[in-house]
């Protein structure tokens, strides 16, 4: 079994744990804390999510907007250590969708999230594709999915953009702070997450 990528002890310096108190109604469903991801293995030791304060504030704004429309935000991924990025790259070495280990992933900066929607009761809703489903349904076109699904995906996109995030064309679920490039990567030293 691989060494854990993250410890459930103290948070990485500069990051805050995401919870329903700082992001209203958020549902944590971290895919890399389970085997429901492209590696087929659990690469986070627990389901805790970490982000920069600025990212949490903007995510909270999007969550409040979506709440008014009858939805809840579901967080699939947040800060990602370098060791997790290496595991993802080993499973799918494709630069169209993943940052190669020699470069710094946006997720390592604590400024990026992967999100989807649930209804008010917490039931995860149908969206264009599953997380990390790298195909045409994952892009922002939405012409190849049912109208109701496309409508939800656009509503999520509008809420995230209005809150101060930008998206990427090939992953409807991925959002970054608009100024993500001005933030340094955050690593937890001593657990294989330094470097790169």
Catalytic residue numbers read: 171
- SS3 of 41, please? coil
User: Measured between alpha carbons, how far is residue 102 from residues 89, 98, 175, 176 in Å?
Assistant: 10, 11, 22, 20
The string of DSSP codes covering 52-75 is -HHHHHHHHHHHHHHHHTTEEEEE
d(C-alpha 18, C-alpha 32), whole Å:
16
């Amino acid at each position: 079994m691989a060494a854990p990528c993250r410890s459930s002890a103290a948070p990485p310096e500069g990051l805050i744990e995401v919870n329903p108190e700082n992001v209203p109604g958020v549902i944590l469903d971290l895919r890399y804390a389970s085997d429901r991801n492209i590696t087929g293995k659990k690469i986070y030791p627990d389901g805790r999510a970490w982000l920069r304060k600025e990212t949490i504030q903007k995510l909270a704004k999007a969550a409040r907007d979506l709440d008014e429309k009858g939805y809840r935000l579901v967080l699939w991924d947040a800060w990602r250590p370098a060791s997790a990025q290496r595991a993802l790259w080993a499973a799918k070495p494709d630069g169209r969708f993943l940052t190669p280990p020699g470069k710094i992933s946006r997720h390592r900066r604590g400024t990026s999230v992967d999100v989807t929607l649930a209804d008010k009761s917490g039931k995860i809703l149908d969206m264009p594709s599953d997380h990390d489903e790298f195909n045409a349904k994952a892009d922002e076109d939405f012409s190849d999915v049912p109208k109701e699904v496309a409508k939800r995906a656009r509503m999520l996109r509008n809420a995230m953009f209005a809150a101060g995030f930008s998206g990427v064309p090939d992953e409807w679920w991925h959002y970054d702070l608009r100024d993500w490039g001005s933030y340094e990567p955050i690593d937890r030293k001593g657990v294989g997450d330094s470097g790169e």
